[in-house]
Structure 1
Amino acid sequence: MSEPILEVSGVAKTFILHLREGAKLPVVEGAGFDLHAGECVALGGPSGAGKSSLLKMVYGNYRVDAGAIRVRDGEETVDVATTAPRRLIKLRDTTMGYVSQFLRVIPRVGALDVVAEPLVHDGVPVAQARARAGALLARLNLPERLWQLPPATFSGGEQQRVNIARGLIAHRPLLLMDEPTASLDAANRGVVVELIEEKKRAGVGILGIFHDTEVREAVCDRVIDVTSFGRAAA
């Protein structure tokens, strides 16, 4: 088997509650697993087990108290837990994508340009990037009349489709997904399943949280029980 795209080893995280006299809230301890190209792995466990926290640690949004999170970036391996901020930004630009539950974009920018932006950042000509963005939005059943409007005005399900399109449009070898189908109807959940399968066939390694049982069973090769990583947060 090829070298993993992601290796998590001995990761621990505890939150300090400064408004509660410094009380400590353990999240995970001794977390360890790996992820290979073309594989989709789900983080499983009940609400509060630390799934989202672990995903954010892999992306570098949360600091790690102990352990290593190694991401393969071409011929180099980068430890997200210790790397410099500039190197982390570069890693996100080239290697690591993220589809969060919530869409955070610049106000007043239309949905088409929101989705096209990662391609433009990669050097794809604007017209070509917008064409590919339109094709993806159409596939996700977002009406064309909405494409020029800022997604802040959209419904939750519409915003989530824009979020998914933006996260999937550019190729990144490692993709993190946090409940990507939470606000979608059955038809659009089916489209997302197809898109995830296409990413897997393209060799993308996917780590995600999938509370929808049908989606999880359709796309995930295995499930990692986060509750096995020490005493999780309540």
Structure 2
Amino acid sequence: MSEPILQASGLSKTFVLHLREGARLPVVSGASFELHAGECVALGGPSGAGKSSLLKMVYGNYRVDAGAIRVRDGDEQVDVARAAPRRLIRLRAHTMGYVSQFLRVIPRVSALDVVADPLLGDGVAPEEALPRARALLGRLNLPERLWPLPPATFSGGEQQRVNIARGLIAHRPLLLMDEPTASLDAANRQVVVELIGEKKRAGVAILGIFHDSEVREAVCDRVIDVTTFGQAA
């Protein structure tokens, strides 16, 4: 088997509740797992088990108390847990994508430009990036009349489709997904299942939270039970 794209080893995280006299809330302890090209792995467990926290640790939004998070970036292994901010920004720009539950973008930027932006950041010319963005928004059934509008006023499902399109339009070897179909109807959930399948066939490694059991069974190769990490915390 090829070298993993993601290796997490010995991860531990505790939140300190400063408004509760410094009370400590353990989240995970000794979390270890790896992810290879072309596979989709789900973080499983009940609400509060630490799934979102683990995903945020891998992306670098949460620092860890102990352990390492190694992401393969070309010929280099980058430890997200210890990477300098500039190195982490570069890793996110070219190697590690993220589809969150909620769309956070610059106000007054059109949905079309929001989706095309990752391609433009990769150096793709606008005359190629914009048609690709239109095609992906069309595939996700976002009405064309919305494309020139800022997505801040869209419905939750419309915003999520913009978010998915933005996260999937450019190639990233590692993709993190936090409940990507939570606000979608059955037809659009199926489109996302197809898009994830295409990413897997292109060799992308996907780590995600999929509460929808049908979606999870359709796209995931295995499930990591996060509660086993919480038991040690």
| Structure 2 residue 36 is the aligned partner of structure 1 residue 58 | no
Name the SS of the counterpart of 1:69 in structure 2.
strand
CA distance in 1, matches of 2:152, 2:31: 36
Query: Which runs of no fewer than 5 residues in structure 1 stay unpaired?
Result: none
Aligned counterpart, 1:204: 204
Q: Distance in 2 between matches of 1:228 and 1:8?
A: 15
How far the C-alpha of 1:202 sits from its partner, in A, is 0.1
Query: Does the 8 Å contact 1:48/1:232 carry over to 2?
Result: no
Deviation (angstroms), 1:7: 0.2
Give the TM-score normalised by structure 2: 0.99
- SS of 2:180's equivalent in the other structure is coil
Match of 1:152 in 2: 152
RMSD of equivalent CA atoms? 0.9
Quote the Cα distance in structure 2 between the aligned partners of 1:13 and 1:133: 38
Q: How does 1:1-234 map to 2 (within 5 A)?
A: 1-231=1-231
Q: Structure 2: how far apart are the matches of 1:129 and 1:64?
A: 36
Identical counterparts, % of pairs: 85
For 1:192 and 1:230, locate their aligned partners in 2 and report how far apart those are by CA, in whole Å. Answer: 30
Q: Which amino acid aligns with 2:170?
A: A
Unaligned runs of 5+ in 2: none
For 1:190 and 1:155, the matched residues in 2 are separated by 19
CA distance in 2, matches of 1:126, 1:76: 30
Cα distance in 2 between the residues matched to 1:193 and 1:67: 32
| Residues in 2 aligned to 1:173 and 1:213: alpha-carbon distance in whole angstroms | 25
Task: Please state whether the residue corresponding to 1:15 is helix, strand or coil.
Answer: strand
- In the TM superposition, residue 126 of structure 1 has moved relative to its aligned partner by 1.1
Shift of 1:24: 0.3
The answer on whether the counterparts of 1:27 and 1:231 sit within 8 Å (CA) in structure 2 is no
Matched to 1:143, the amino acid is: P
AA paired with 2:93? D
Q: Is the CA contact (8 Å cut-off) linking 2:11 and 2:66 kept in structure 1? A: yes
Which whole-Å deviations, capped at 9, do the CAs of 1:165-190 have from their partners, x for residues lacking one? Answer: 00000000000000000000000000
Moved over 3 A (4+): 230-233
In the aligned structure 1, how far is the partner of 2:116 from the partner of 2:4? 29
> Offset at 1:232?
7.8
3-state SS of 1:37 partner: coil
Aligned residues: 233
